[in-house]
Amino acid sequence: MVVQNSVIFLDELDPVFDPDRPWLSLGPRESVDEDGNKISEWFTGMSQIDRFIDLAETGE
């Protein structure tokens, strides 16, 4: 899984953002911006995402 920091303007999305299906609001992955700068990315696995969610929910 690749994670990028991004600002999404909800009023500009088409279709309207659906929190139950957020992937519908994603476009193709780009690793370089329009100015040719490398976009910061983090590579991780689903097990790390699951662990993060568990820790966030339990506060531990």
- Per the CB < 8 A criterion, the answer to whether 42 and 1 are in contact is no
State pTM to two decimals.
0.58
Rounded Cα distance, 17 and 24, in Å: 8
> What's the distance, Cα to Cα, between the start and end of the chain in Å?
24
- 60 pLDDT above the threshold of 80: no
pLDDT digits over 1-59, tens only? Answer: 899 988 888 888 888 889 999 888 888 999 999 999 999 999 999 999 999 999 999 98
